[in-house]
Chains A and B, each alone.
Chain A
Amino acid sequence: AQTVTQSQPEMSVQEAETVTLSCTYDTSENNYYLFWYKQPPSRQMILVIRQEAYKQQNATENRFSVNFQKAAKSFSLKISDSQLGDTAMYFCAFMKYSGTYKYIFGTGTRLKVLA
């Protein structure tokens, strides 16, 4: 069975600094997708970034980038130039398709950006 592990329940970072959130997963699949979702306090969950497992190039979205290490089954999220609006719960998610779609989420990392 697939699992997703986020080992950092809480993190904090100073405004304008860089922070990296870790995520590891376990799967025997070769084709799958990985996602980082952001859930601000009392607000809607939104997609931050996604990565296709067959792509070796790391995905980037403005200040957000990932370090995808397929062999190590690691999928960390780097937030550069942190902003106060980045304060949120961040969930790592794994998705595969093998006849049916299956999503597995990690337990989340609560990130607080300090002024």
Chain B
Amino acid sequence: EVQLVQSGAEVKKPGESLKISCKGSGYRFTDYWIGWVRQMPGKGLEWMGIIYPGDSDTRYSPSFQGQVTISADKSISTAYLQWSSLKASDTAMYYCARSASGWANWGQGTLVTVSS
């Protein structure tokens, strides 16, 4: 069974760094793109970017370029989304998804709360 399991909720202060994860199982992790999606409280979905774990080819949406870093460690079948300096406006639910079969598989989401 294909699964994407995301790391748990985080509460951080502005200016702190953070790295959240998305671990894939039940398939060859290096063969499919992993995408990240943001959903701010009460708002819609926003496409952040994607990574191909096979060669770490990474593409960012313009709104997120330079704001976050997407990476992957294929040795442990895990993709990451990280911030070097969080802002209150980064408070959101973050989802990862796998590109196979029309982005059929999604993680459960990681809630990130940034508050002083």
- Do they bind each other? no
Q: Which residues of B pack against A, CB within 8 Å?
A: none
